[in-house]
Structure 1
């Protein structure tokens, strides 16, 4: 049986977290003289901003619990999901001793966080279909392998990882299995957050940066057992999500109808753009996508990337990633932006053909 006590860094078990003013007093009062705030107001233009925010984002968690079908105590809120990634590494990995397991090509912050904390990295590349190979992953795991990071839909490839393989990995892995679902809203596949009760070592990451269109507000979520969430709250900074973000996010979470409308447009545009890609001779391969971007393989990614820049179009060159030679990652934009992209690709194709 998995037990977080067996893999947490031992000194953190007895850690006494910082106790903020808002931890020690909850409720309503007429005069607040406990947190050394500026009671005259705020130069930011709103009197609310002179007060510290709710350190545990209770209002947002209540709304997310209903929206995601989980309990409030199963939710951690962070300054982007990158904060949750950093805290998870910090929670269970001893610097200079432990390691994490990555499946490239994948999201780069897992490696960055491990490097920041002097944590070792083992890598098992995805196969030619960008799917995990269970046997190779099992061979790499040791008693020092504390976290397996899975990205599904995967970044930069866009595909969902096969659920049967993911489940097998969660069941067999001795440490935390972190499934990063930043792009889950763009697919019909169910979230792994619906299965938290089955797997005590499962952590699911999501974000409001993608489908919800709030990248600038920096709010990410981790879903896990109440015990893991409690430990993350124990080691996080006391006020890690600011007042403005909490207010705007709380209001946005009431607008699920508008979210569905935006998702419908993006998914329709993804289909249209991918169909157009398939018809262009310069694009050698269009990879399947369950995200709001498409990975394509072209004869010369560097040359096409530079050409698109000249036309005012910025995409992401992923050619240096394992298995992604001459690949560009292209975000699905507005219909007008997508038209400009497609026109640029057609112009480039015509230019290459006439050479």
Structure 2
């Protein structure tokens, strides 16, 4: 009717969207082809260099373009090193621009491998790198998204560069975990900070035990618990106390498979010194068959191993 705007159908909208995507793809491919065709070992085209930045902001996951920029910077670095102070200032300006570029590309994709790698590479080639600023940037990013394992990895690289103490990093890890227990990246980062001993393992066990009691259905803390349990510094007494705590938790959450799974992990080592735990492992795996039937085959294999040990024990008694 007159005076009314035509509303496109969903099919028309889809066709227009696909046409626009194809147009962008063609322009993107043409840009990459132009850069690669002008790629040389000892020189570069400033227009292609600028074009590569535009393409990386749109899509930071093209490793070839990051490598191209590295090649250009190394060419410039060699020339700058021959010009004393003036050359150093030029190189600093160039690398600061690279750092800004990675910031822009990380806005497009905060978990871009290429962007984080290029940022660290730029810092390593910087005549006067500000590592403290990088560390603060990591803290800022993790406050925004504490599940970004790329940022956690980058932070680990920076710790040794600026001499952050173990205590400070443990406190930071505590803060992140207190804010959100359900964070694989935070737990994993914590496992890289130090090797546990008899003094430290008690604290880690208490920390992760609080997490699993807070939310037994969350998997992240359970995986960290398994890592703690694999440490030889964990004494039999602590394992026994944990087993009792898990049994209490199971009374509150009888249908949580992770509690039973943790009891299996624990009973595996406890059975080495206490044969009664061999029998209990059979009970645990039978319970897991009920709680987690999708992994039936795995539990049946474990169950057979446990039952075979019981049979072997009975045979040993006869002879």
TM-score past 0.5 threshold:
no
Return the structure number with greater relative CO, CA threshold 8 A, min gap 6: 1
For normalisation by structure 2, the TM-score amounts to: 0.28
Richer in strand (by share): 1
Higher gyration radius (CA)? 2
Q: Which has the higher helix share?
A: 2
| TM-score, normalisation: structure 1 | 0.25
